[in-house]
Amino acid sequence: MAPRPGSKSGDGDTASAMPLRYGDDPLLWAAWLYYEEGLTQGEIAEKMGLSRASVNAYLADARTRGIVNIEIAPDKFRSLSIAQALRDHFGLQDCLVIPTEGGDRSLIARLGAAGAQTLQRFVKSGDTLAVTWGRTVLALAEALDRPGLQDVRVVQATGGTTAKIPWTPEACASRLAEALNARSIPISAPATVSSPEIRAMLMQEPVLAEQLAILAEADRIVMGISSLRPESTIHSSGFLDGGVQHAHYQDAVGSIIGRFINARGESVIGPMHERTIGIDLDALRRIPQRIAVAGGVDKLPAILAALRGGYVNVLVTDVVTGRGILTAEGYKDTPRRSPPPVQAPLTARSHVKKLINAPQDAVDEALKGALLAHEHLIAALPGSPRAIRALEGPRAGKVGIVIGGGAGHEPGFWGYVGRGLADAAAIGNLFASPPPGPILAATQAVDGGAGVLYIYGNFSGDVMNFDMAAELAMAEGIAVRAVVTTDDIASSPVESRAARRGVAGNVFIFKIAGAAADRMLPLEACDALVRRANARTYTMGLALEPGSLPETRRPSFELGPNDIEIGVGVHGEPGVVRQPLAPADDCADLLLDRILAEMAPHEGDRVAVLVNSLGGTPAMELYIILRRVRQRLKSRGIEVHSSLVGPYYTSLDMAGVSLTLLHLDDELAGLLEAPCRSAALVVP
């Protein structure tokens, strides 16, 4: 360990306070105190008896003289909320945001250094790396130090220019190639030529054709983004003169790779288009990794346009520019340093923690787990992994029950597949109906010659896909009927009941259907009973917190710190009205009152109750609600036949609850009592 400056000797005489090993070099000492001991510049100034300005100068000097070598831990910067927001909003692979103000180096030099760090993390042996030109790109090349790579090619993204600037395409490419120990491939032609004819002729030259072919193989590109201001690189490098811009490029707000884009990121085609030699915007989009290094408020419209156009998937910029981009996109910034609100809204989180691997694998991996957990009950159909069949149940002469919908409702829908319940389920992507394929496969697998009954919630996608599957099945001679469930009373007024969504009440409706089919009732009778069950099932839900998709890991809607959303569906879609959070009993009453108003039960009527968690609400709260519902029903003189409490029909991690009442008659009660055995529901 290095000697630690004595705390006593720190006050007073500066010379005696300086440890011997630093000789009389205050620069070294200041650097040590700052970087190793973690003192502030003010503390160092006091300790060394210097002004803060001197300390600052020493520290800057220490960096330029290479005494101190600073490496930014990119994780720290990427985790800044602005970088995270930019990444999420534009679907970027990566984003690095550096402070706009910082020491004595220019923003361009610092962006270049940050860009160099970013590139160093990605560039691999064997890469073909395209590069544009400009001040920032040259700064990046100069800051880059990545020896040890093999077989890297650096290729100019455009032809060259004779402009009297140090950051020409040739200079940027050769400097970058040097830093990467790479082969440098020029584009042996001017970036702009005087006519489309000359361009066409040049393009036929074998040397140029070969160089352009290498360019087309680029794995990544490093590029700057130019504004169209008179002092910008696009002008100084001779790509555009004022007259041409005025006449043909009024819509353009920026330039990348020597091409012009409007505010929406669309290509602006003008006379330069057919006179430019180099990669074009469409070819740019095909490069897998497109690293843009650009900052400064003057470039903001150009950077925004490049992001909107999807030309960039790795961005290195500065805080002020990054925030400006987000503001322009309507993103609300949460102030970081203002005093925290009394109760921080959970929605202020930039992302939600999830136990997933790759987000796109979540549905299939969860389904595989479910199939293993319940391997004695269900299995996927061979060749149709999203069609889940009951191992026991389907049999000759029995109506086949096929249910289904999007994933994200676990244990829906596989949890309701089993003897006495559904015979098969088709499961789609997250919150998206399954396509006709798995529905048809399920239909074929469970058809016992007595026809198949489809039961699914009323969502336009499900209706389309189940309809298409039904048509295909009927063409094969399988009789198919469908009941589209509409139990969610919040989703549409009673006059347009058919427009309502089908939600957690499906649990009861599936049970009725499974029991009816298990009794070997014919298709028409099953269909009629299920319709009756649907007509007598009433559900209403409320959310305390929105859920979040694995892909976005962000809340699917915003809910204030003290608000609840009434009438939410089961897909993270917002509800019908919003009101302040109330005690559990009031919430239970709110749901129950609406349901009872529509159901209009008589004293002595029987109901089945489901208090369902939307995914994030624990059992404790569900039982508090159930207790209140039972109290209320008792006082109304309504008999409760049975109560289900738990996560039966979820909406990922949404916190909230739905209440379902099935208004029983004797026949429905008998069907509800019939034995069944599935992963989520067992009646002995």
Partner 1 sequence: MTTIQNADQATIVEELAAVIVANKAFLSEIDGKIGDGDHGINMAKGFGRAAERIHGKDMTLDAAMLVLSDVLMSEIGGSMGPLYGLMFEDMAGALTGREVIDAATFSTMLNAGLEGVRGVGSAEVGDKTLMDTLVPAVAAFDAAQGQGFAAALRAMAAAAETGRDSTIDLVAKIGRASRLGERSRGVLDAGATSCCMILTTLAQSVQRRLA
Of 246, 273, 376, 409, the catalytic one is 409
Residues 243-282 that bind partner 1 (CB under 8 A): 266-267, 269, 282
Pick between residue 432 and residue 582 the one whose CB is nearest to partner 1.
432
Q: Is 602 considered catalytic here? A: no
Residues 67-96 that bind partner 1 (CB under 8 A): 88-91
388 Cβ neighbours under 8 A, 6+ residues apart: 367, 371, 378, 379, 380, 381, 413, 414, 417, 424, 425, 426, 427, 442
Residue from 549, 611, 626, 676 that binds partner 1 (CB under 8 A)?
549
> What residue type is assigned to position 667 of the chain?
E
Residue from 460, 498, 603, 684 that binds partner 1 (CB under 8 A)?
460
Supply the minimum distance, in Å, between the C-beta of residue 429 and partner 1. 6
Residue 345, interface with partner 1 (CB under 8 A)? no
CA distances 533 to 315, 349, 485, 521, 530, Å, are 55, 41, 9, 16, 5
- What's the farthest any 2 CA atoms get from each other in the chain? 102
Pick between residue 28 and residue 489 the one whose CB is nearest to partner 1.
489
Residues 146-175 that bind partner 1 (CB under 8 A): none
Residue from 430, 483, 595, 644 that binds partner 1 (CB under 8 A)?
430
Rounded CA-CA distance 626/645 in Å is 7
Rounded CA-CA distance 42/59 in Å is 13
Rounded CA-CA distance 490/501 in Å is 9
Supply the minimum distance, in Å, between the C-beta of residue 104 and partner 1. 37
**Which window, 234-242, 244-252, 388-396, 434-442, contacts partner 1 (CB under 8 A)?**
434-442
84 Cβ neighbours under 8 A, 6+ residues apart: 78, 95, 350, 351
CA 222 to chain centre: 25
Rounded CA-CA distance 563/466 in Å is 37
Pick between residue 468 and residue 479 the one whose CB is nearest to partner 1.
468
Residue 387, interface with partner 1 (CB under 8 A)? no
Residue 351, interface with partner 1 (CB under 8 A)? no
> What residue type is assigned to position 284 of the chain?
L
Residues 124-143 that bind partner 1 (CB under 8 A): none
Rounded CA-CA distance 51/30 in Å is 12
Binding residue count for partner 1, defined by CB under 8 A = 48
Residue 552, interface with partner 1 (CB under 8 A)? yes
Residue 465, interface with partner 1 (CB under 8 A)? yes
Residues 564-583 that bind partner 1 (CB under 8 A): 567, 569, 571-574, 576
Residue 660, interface with partner 1 (CB under 8 A)? no
Site string for partner 1, 392-421 (x = CB under 8 A): --------------x---------------
Residue 285, interface with partner 1 (CB under 8 A)? yes
Helical ranges in 554-649 per DSSP H: 584-599, 619-636
Residue 385, interface with partner 1 (CB under 8 A)? no
**Which window, 111-119, 335-343, 424-432, 600-608, contacts partner 1 (CB under 8 A)?**
424-432
Q: Roughly how many angstroms between the first and final C-alpha of the chain, as a whole number?
A: 72
The total of other beta-carbon atoms located within 10 Å of residue 202's CB is: 17
Q: Are the C-beta atoms of 656 and 399 separated by less than 8 Å? A: no
Of 571, 602, 641, 663, the catalytic one is 571
Angle at alpha carbon of residue 205, lines to 203 and 208, rounded to 5°: 70
Residue from 328, 371, 432, 479 that binds partner 1 (CB under 8 A)?
432
Rounded CA-CA distance 45/179 in Å is 38
Q: Are the C-beta atoms of 330 and 119 separated by less than 8 Å? A: no
Q: Is 571 considered catalytic here? A: yes
Supply the minimum distance, in Å, between the C-beta of residue 278 and partner 1. 17
Q: Are the C-beta atoms of 535 and 598 separated by less than 8 Å? A: no
Pick between residue 571 and residue 606 the one whose CB is nearest to partner 1.
571
Q: Are the C-beta atoms of 276 and 298 separated by less than 8 Å? A: no
**Which window, 120-128, 171-179, 527-535, 547-555, contacts partner 1 (CB under 8 A)?**
547-555
Positions touching partner 1 (CB under 8 A) are 88-91, 266-267, 269, 282, 285-286, 308-310, 360, 406, 428-437, 459-461, 464-465, 468, 490-492, 499, 501, 549, 551-552, 556-557, 567, 569, 571-574, 576
- Which positions are annotated as active-site residues? 409, 571
